[in-house]
Structure 1
């Protein structure tokens, strides 16, 4: 953002001044706000051009030296202004003054630190971070740059990060960027990670997130009921592409593996478990948590079906997985063909495993959490659904129990 910068050198009179040289002061004005300080030089008022702010009598060496000094000082002011602008820092008269006097360093800026973190994540993809994590960090950085531009700022010093900055950022995300609450919280959570690093490095004295609470609203995660899943399994497709996408989706429904985890599966990930049955031993791409799960018959049949598939043989993979975007595109078509009025995505399969396939059939949530590769049980609880069928079965058992007691009491 361009700001008006004015530079003026003048002689400052003391209250008790009678005669003699006066100190030369520099007045800096940026957008109407000014600061003044001494140049550590003095000059005779009778040989001073007040309008030009320069010494007169150019034929004298002393005059030329003073004016040369003032010109150099003025050049340093413009240089300091350019440096601040290049860093995207909001230029003020005090910032320029402090930089000239060497009293205060500019310090690190928010985008500088954030960009460095994103570069580190990029370098560690596959060695601690997933490609999707990098993509989300880049998107969050882009939204932060847009927010600063919206505020007519190129960047901000870390010392300027306050609670108000975070709340303004949240408001911007929800209004200007039009993202929902949970998405906004996810973006702000990444900013919080950066800020915590700055606090740990003593680049920020006080954590602006101390009073800001990141709250995620509960959402209804799409999943399939058993009859909907059966409808997809039993549907005959003439297209090979829809058939293979359906099979891979169903495989995920019976294993709970995410798209990235299914895509990377190889024959080496299939082992004989403690029970003598076939198990999958793998690490989740997203969290690097170890996942160990028995392979249910429905999933085993799909693996056997694609054992000799050319793509699987050539690439050493278990299933011929295509891009996630194409998978989700074809799943929408599958949903229409099967008359399922839900947004069918690959992640829906993971929800279906957690709810319809396991929890609804009485598998303890602790076991489901382990199979999903979650580090915390709280994460699994987001997937857990108490379905109408489960409620009906539980209440039916209670009803029968109460009826039995009533019958016993009547015959007593």
Structure 2
């Protein structure tokens, strides 16, 4: 239900300053646009309400209880709207997945926080159609057994999904199921199984992708390549975006969100979207340097002017790096399903993507002798084990360090 919002009306606050929280549904009746408001039964002061996220803020002492009741009421309204009192054969699992996605949208969550669930839902629809063709019924929560896990893994492998993608699919699926399982007393009509909590559910052997930072020479070439891009304005923006990532360590999801409001006392202050709901101190503090400042000045202190979809950005990056002759051969493993990977040697420009700017930033910081705690403060990492996956020191640097050590 895309037209269901959660709102308050500040001009209707009571004497104590509290506003009723409403669900507002927009619809068209007889060609006329209308809307209906349904009281949630919860009240909040405007100062304790997030208009963007449509949630009660932590400054309200009862925020957790109120937000929980809002989620419950939202799903009740969604159920009533979808059922219309009719009993039809449907996929309980996929229907609930759609409601879960719509709930996150209504709560004002960023698209990055629910698009993975959309991907999982689309895959589950395809898998369900395969099951139905084999004589099975539509998917229910009670079907989430270890046998279901095995069947889904084999189905995804037969379609050449990378093992890491298969693992990520199950992790996302479990997050969704947890939402309903934790509220199982409120859904007596749903039969649950706890097989999905077992370690064998969704168990596959994954692989790690090695970091691929730019080396010192490649970084210098990128820094001074404007003369090669005089007639390629689209590549100039791609170059500037990647370079900005190299000197700030920002992820793609945060790279295009920087404005003057993020600059304070010579620092870029950013709250990473990836960890906004999982970390209490979710701030990265990155010193503004001559390169990042010049890029910001070029785009009027608004990196949103550089924004491209991830697919287009990565495609143009490969075009840029091919033009710059970043063509050292790199041995790489390609996975297609759960079988043994194929080993190929590919030119570096074919392998580089938006994420490698972060590899470059962290590796350059290590090479320049910046302390690990400082780097983690800039990147937002809380564990060194996670951060070290971005580090790759070239042989020239290692030899140089040893030369000065003895």
Pairwise same-fold verdict (TM > 0.5): yes
2:111 maps to which of 121, 131, 134: 131
Q: Which residue of 1 aligns with 2:55?
A: none
Q: Which residue of 2 aligns with 1:227?
A: 217
1:12-23 paired onto structure 2 within 5 Å: none
On the 8 A contact 1:251/1:298 being kept in 2, the answer is yes
Deviation at 1:184, TM superposition (A): 0.9
Q: Which residue of 2 aligns with 1:362?
A: 369
Distance 1:283 1:358 in 2: 21
Q: Which residue of 1 aligns with 2:305?
A: 320
Give CA-to-partner distance per residue, 1:304-352, whole Å, 9 cap, x none: 3333xxxx6xxxx256213134433332221121101223322221221
Between Structure 1 and Structure 2, how many residues are aligned? 279
SS at match of 1:155: coil
Distance 2:196 2:116 in 1: 23
1:380 maps to which of 367, 370, 387: 387
1:151 maps to which of 128, 131, 136: 131
- 1:218 and 2:208 correspond: yes
Give CA-to-partner distance per residue, 1:288-313, whole Å, 9 cap, x none: 23111112222222223333xxxx6x
On the 8 A contact 1:118/1:138 being kept in 2, the answer is yes
- 1:169 and 2:149 correspond: no
Distance 1:112 1:195 in 2: 12
SS at match of 1:359: helix
1:302-313 paired onto structure 2 within 5 Å: 302-307=295-300
Distance 2:403 2:357 in 1: 29
- 1:396 and 2:403 correspond: yes
On the 8 A contact 1:270/1:281 being kept in 2, the answer is yes
Q: Which residue of 1 aligns with 2:243?
A: 250
- 1:238 and 2:230 correspond: yes
When normalised by structure 1's length, the TM-score is: 0.62
1:42-53 paired onto structure 2 within 5 Å: none
Relative to structure 1, the CA distance from residue 242 to residue 112 in structure 2 (aligned partners, 3 Å threshold; closer, same or farther) is: closer
1:330 maps to which of 316, 330, 341: 316
**Which stretch has the larger CA shift, 383-392 or 282-291?**
383-392
On the 8 A contact 2:251/2:358 being kept in 1, the answer is yes
- 1:294 and 2:297 correspond: no
Distance 2:137 2:125 in 1: 8
Q: Which residue of 1 aligns with 2:177?
A: 195
Deviation at 1:215, TM superposition (A): 5.3
Deviation at 1:210, TM superposition (A): 1.1
Q: Which residue of 1 aligns with 2:105?
A: 122
**Which stretch has the larger CA shift, 240-249 or 373-382?**
373-382
**Which stretch has the larger CA shift, 329-338 or 381-390?**
381-390
On the 8 A contact 1:185/1:214 being kept in 2, the answer is yes
Deviation at 1:194, TM superposition (A): 2.2
1:19-98 paired onto structure 2 within 5 Å: 86-88=89-91
On the 8 A contact 1:303/1:318 being kept in 2, the answer is yes
Deviation at 1:186, TM superposition (A): 0.6
SS at match of 1:286: helix
When normalised by structure 2's length, the TM-score is: 0.63
Distance 2:372 2:291 in 1: 21
- 1:184 and 2:174 correspond: no
Give CA-to-partner distance per residue, 1:370-391, whole Å, 9 cap, x none: 2112344433232122432343
Deviation at 1:154, TM superposition (A): 5.2
SS at match of 1:87: coil
Distance 2:106 2:325 in 1: 45
Relative to structure 1, the CA distance from residue 211 to residue 226 in structure 2 (aligned partners, 3 Å threshold; closer, same or farther) is: same
Show structure 1 runs of 5+ residues with no match.
1-82, 89-108, 273-277, 401-412
Give CA-to-partner distance per residue, 1:141-180, whole Å, 9 cap, x none: 111111121111452232232111112111111113x110
Distance 1:165 1:319 in 2: 43
Relative to structure 1, the CA distance from residue 159 to residue 232 in structure 2 (aligned partners, 3 Å threshold; closer, same or farther) is: same
On the 8 A contact 1:360/1:387 being kept in 2, the answer is no
Distance 2:290 2:125 in 1: 50
